[in-house]
Every structure is written in structure tokens, then in C-alpha cells.
Homo-oligomer: A and B are copies of this chain.
């Protein structure tokens, strides 16, 4: 099958939603997208696994990248899609098949855009980073992703969200010494000692840095705690796993240094991290985009694939019709008028 890109964007969203594409099983959906794109003579289409890159070659001095992932979180008895009033319900409606529909409609309806455009559809965004299609392309085919500015059509309620906060997880270890719990004073209780780690977390005042005009909101939180040996043993180790969400005024190294400072006196082990991305709204293409779609911009607090473009030196923002708070919920839906609005504004920007 192939999608009918001449249908309106709501009809197209629904057709995309009704092809299940849980992470790792995007093949049928990507096949249908590929067939629709190769039928467009102004595009050169390349496939890489279950990712697609379709590019115009007008020779304009500027190139923008529009990107979206094809996968969804697992179905939760929320397919096939259904319409109720102005809402389209179903797995992936908000995150982010409505954005994908906008992207495909732009590909079909802008045979002569004001800028060169690269359309990227990729797989495995909802799962571990090593399987992420955008990550793979950035590593193996970075030339395909080159551009001056990128828009990820992730759910943002059709408001521009700039940059993204970084994330780092560390294990903070409280020491102790084992003893029988009937003679606790012979040892040192690591769980009690971890109280000092929680003291730090409870007293921590997260920063609210302003970067390129957008206000971020950091956070330092325990996400796991574990300790204990047996029901009658004073434990000799307790580990608090802490997640630091940091604004794009800090590098990964600076984030780590901050955590080592905050938890000085404790053993701190970094388990994973992903850098923040500056909003890049000072770039002319980004500025033109924000002006064209209207509504101003706000800081993106979660981590998104925007950071992968930032690592390639490409300013990027999130902008899409979905409602972010509904992502990954059983009752996920998208407001249909917002899909049309989003398509129209982006079309205006690129015409």
C-alpha cells in the first residue's frame, strides 16, 4: 500500500495511526511512506534500515531538516483510531503520527519551496538510544542530515520548544559496615548514612538558567534507592541513583563536576548522560521559523533528539501538533484543528 498524500492531513494522520508501528516493527509503515515519497519527482529518497531521508535539490543557499519518528510505544488497547468530535484518538496520534502527517503533507505540497528541505523519518525513538534511527544516521550517514536548521515534529501543542535539557544519572554510594542487627553498634548502617545524601537532595535548590532568552528549570532527584543485605544484618552499602536534569548552559563535563561537588564526600559513579542542546533561536533560520509559526517559544525541559542535531552543529527545535502530556498514555489523542493549523503555518514558512 501507499499513502495518498493528496488527502487532508487529518485523514492522512488516521491512515498512519492505523498501521501499527511499535518500536522495532516499523517496516510496513515505513514501506508505505517510502512508496508515497518516491512518487514525488522533486525528492531523492534514500532508505537506511527502517529510516528514510528524502531531499530536495533546488540549490537554495539554505537547507532545513524536518524530522519525525515512525515508531510508537506499545499498543494499549488503543487501536484502531477513532474520532470523537474534534479529537482523533489512538496510539501514536499525539506522539507523533500527526507530526509525521504534517511532514508528509509538506513533502507533497511544496514541490517548489523557498528553502531546500530534507525530510527524515526514523525508527526506534521510543527505546534505547543505540537502536535509534536518527542516532544511526548521524553516525553512519551524517551528510544526509546536514542543514542550517532542523524542526522535530514532536508533540508541543503547536508551540515552538527550543533546545533541550541534558540528563545525567549517577549512583551515590553511602558506606557502612556489616554487623548483626541485634548488635548494631558493632557496625555502621549504610542506609542511615544515606540519610545525608537525601539531606542534600531535600535541600537542593534547582537552578532556573536563562539561555538564549528561554528559561530552563533544572532538577536533581533520586530515582532509585536500594540497600540491605538480610533482615537481621546492618547493611554495608546503600546506593541512591540520582537523575540530574540540567540546562543547556552546561556541558556534560560541567554537569558531572557539579554533581561531584554537590555529593562531595560520597562515592559518585556516572552511569549515563546525554548532553543538553542550546535553543539556537539566534540563528536566522530559527528566528524566521519562530516568527512564521507565531506564539513565541519556550524552553524544552525533557531530553529529545534535538540534542542529536545540536551534536551535528545544527540548531533545532521541537514543534508539532500533538499534546505532550498525552504522550504514552492509553487515552492519547490529538486535536484535529491543531494538525491543520500546524501544517498551514509550516507551509507558509516554507513557501
- Does A346 sit at the interface, judged by CB under 8 A? no
Main secondary structure of the interface of A (DSSP, over half): mixed
- Does A182 sit at the interface, judged by CB under 8 A? yes
Q: How far is the CA of A191 from the CA of B220 in the complex (A)?
A: 12
Residues in B with CB closer than 8 Å to A191 are: 198, 201, 221-225, 240
State how many angstroms separate the Cβ of A325 from the closest Cβ of chain B: 9
Q: Given A228-B223, A231-B169, A231-B223, does the pair A302, B192 have CB atoms closer than 8 Å?
A: no
Q: Given A191-B240, A198-B191, A240-B191, does the pair A181, B228 have CB atoms closer than 8 Å?
A: no
Contact with B along A170-201 (1 / 0, CB 8 A): 00000000001111110001011011001101
Q: Given A245-B182, A303-B182, does the pair A194, B225 have CB atoms closer than 8 Å?
A: yes
- Does A167 sit at the interface, judged by CB under 8 A? yes
- Does A165 sit at the interface, judged by CB under 8 A? yes
In the complex, are the beta carbons of B199 and A302 less than 8 A apart? no
In the complex, are the beta carbons of B221 and A192 less than 8 A apart? yes
- Does A94 sit at the interface, judged by CB under 8 A? no
Q: How far is the CA of A307 from the CA of B64 in the complex (A)?
A: 78
On A, residues with C-beta under 8 Å from B are 165, 167, 169, 180-185, 189, 191-192, 194-195, 198-199, 201-202, 206, 217, 219, 221-235, 238, 240-241, 243, 245, 272, 301-303
Q: Given A195-B195, A198-B195, A303-B182, does the pair A225, B228 have CB atoms closer than 8 Å?
A: yes
Q: How far is the CA of A67 from the CA of B195 in the complex (A)?
A: 43
Copy number in this complex?
2
In the complex, are the beta carbons of B224 and A231 less than 8 A apart? yes
In the complex, are the beta carbons of A165 and B182 less than 8 A apart? yes
Residues in B with CB closer than 8 Å to A221 are: 181, 184, 189, 191-192, 234
In the complex, are the beta carbons of A224 and B223 less than 8 A apart? no
State how many angstroms separate the Cβ of A175 from the closest Cβ of chain B: 15
In the complex, are the beta carbons of B223 and A235 less than 8 A apart? yes
Q: How far is the CA of A226 from the CA of B169 in the complex (A)?
A: 17
Q: How far is the CA of A283 from the CA of B303 in the complex (A)?
A: 72
State how many angstroms separate the Cβ of A287 from the closest Cβ of chain B: 26
Q: How far is the CA of A199 from the CA of B227 in the complex (A)?
A: 16
In the complex, are the beta carbons of A192 and B222 less than 8 A apart? yes
Q: Given A219-B181, A223-B181, A245-B181, does the pair A198, B194 have CB atoms closer than 8 Å?
A: yes
12 A-B pairs, CB-CB below 8 angstroms?
A: A167-B181, A185-B217, A191-B201, A191-B221, A191-B240, A222-B228, A222-B235, A223-B230, A224-B231, A224-B235, A225-B238, A232-B243
Q: How far is the CA of A191 from the CA of B183 in the complex (A)?
A: 27
Query: Taking CB as reference atom, which chain B residue is nearest A328?
Result: B180
Q: How far is the CA of A233 from the CA of B245 in the complex (A)?
A: 12
Give me the 10 closest cross-chain CB pairs, A-B, nearest first: A224-B228, A195-B198, A191-B222, A182-B302, A184-B219, A182-B301, A181-B243, A225-B227, A191-B225, A184-B221
State how many angstroms separate the Cβ of A191 from the closest Cβ of chain B: 4
Residues in B with CB closer than 8 Å to A181 are: 167, 219, 221, 223, 243, 245
Residues in B with CB closer than 8 Å to A194 are: 198, 225
State how many angstroms separate the Cβ of A130 from the closest Cβ of chain B: 15
Query: Taking CB as reference atom, which chain B residue is nearest A228?
Result: B224
